[in-house]
């Protein structure tokens, strides 16, 4: 029970941070706002509203915001319930938190790409770095979601070894970290 409470608290903290960051990003958008002094109908609208990358930023930021809020509310309910409801809430919240983290990363990549898009090589570097990071994030997060949620021992075992392989691939995995 105490271990599950610790998981709930950590995930609640992360979800709250994601919600805070995405909320802030939603109002400090790349490119800023039109603030012309004439009575233009576009006054107050985003300057890059027509760009596809900006629309990607807005969609991903919105998904991350609402996913993290859903995680936070779910985990708040988990704190009030019994052990079974806490475990169910954790199974629901973990994939949603993964979605929030991934879409927040895509929104960040889109925002930075948009800000540096006039300098082609830098924009491509941003895309390459962001895409690589999101691939690593998904590769690490999928086994995390599956490690404790599957009823089948074989699937948990495969997820565990996939995670260990990823750690080994990034040179963080040593024989001293494995408990027999």
Q: For residue 128, is it within any domain?
A: no
Q: Which residues of the chain have pLDDT under 70?
A: 1, 36-42, 144-160, 162-163, 166-167, 170-180
pLDDT at 175: 47
Cα dihedral 73, 77, 145, 15 sign: positive
Distance CA 180, CA 167 (A): 17
Q: For residue 123, is it within any domain?
A: no
- Per-position b or e across 96-124, b if 16+ CB within 10 A of its CB: bbbbbbbbbbbbbbbbbbbbbeeeeeebe
Q: Report how many domains make up the chain.
A: 1
Q: For residue 43, is it within any domain?
A: no
Q: Which of 112, 148, 125 is nearest to 11 (CA)?
A: 148
Q: Using one digit for the tens of pLDDT, what is the confidence trace for 37-77?
A: 655 666 778 778 888 999 999 999 999 999 999 999 999 98
Q: For residue 86, is it within any domain?
A: yes
Structure tokens at 161: 């070894």
- Phi, psi angles (nearest 5°) of residue 117: -65, -20
Domain range spanning residue 103?
Answer: 2-35+48-118
Q: For residue 145, is it within any domain?
A: no
pLDDT at 81: 72
Q: Which long-range contacts (CB under 8 A, 24 or more apart) does 115-123 make?
A: 115/30, 115/31, 117/53
Q: For residue 164, is it within any domain?
A: no
Q: For residue 69, is it within any domain?
A: yes
Return the SS3 of 119.
coil
Q: Which of 155, 8, 22 is nearest to 93 (CA)?
A: 8
Return the SS3 of 45.
coil
Prediction pTM value: 0.76
Distance CA 49, CA 74 (A): 33
Q: For residue 136, is it within any domain?
A: no
Residue 115: which residues within 8 A CB-CB, separation 6 or more?
30, 31
């Amino acid at each position: 029970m105490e271990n599950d409470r610790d998981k709930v608290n950590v995930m609640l903290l992360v979800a709250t941070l994601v919600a805070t960051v995405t909320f802030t990003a939603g109002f400090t958008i790349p490119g800023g706002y039109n603030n012309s002094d004439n009575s233009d109908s576009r006054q107050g609208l985003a300057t890059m509203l027509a760009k596809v990358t900006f629309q990607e930023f807005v969609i991903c930021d919105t998904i991350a915001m609402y996913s993290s809020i859903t995680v936070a509310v779910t985990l708040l309910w988990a704190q009030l319930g019994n052990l079974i409801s806490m475990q169910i809430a954790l199974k629901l919240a973990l994939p949603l938190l993964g979605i929030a983290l991934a879409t927040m990363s895509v929104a960040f990549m889109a925002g930075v790409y948009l800000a540096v898009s006039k300098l082609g090589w830098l924009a491509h570097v941003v895309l390459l770095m962001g895409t690589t990071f999101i691939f690593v994030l998904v590769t690490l997060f999928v086994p995390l979601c599956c490690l404790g949620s599957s009823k089948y021992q074989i699937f948990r075992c495969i997820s565990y070894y996939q995670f260990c392989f990823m750690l080994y691939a990034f040179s963080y995995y040593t024989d001293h970290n494995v408990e027999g």
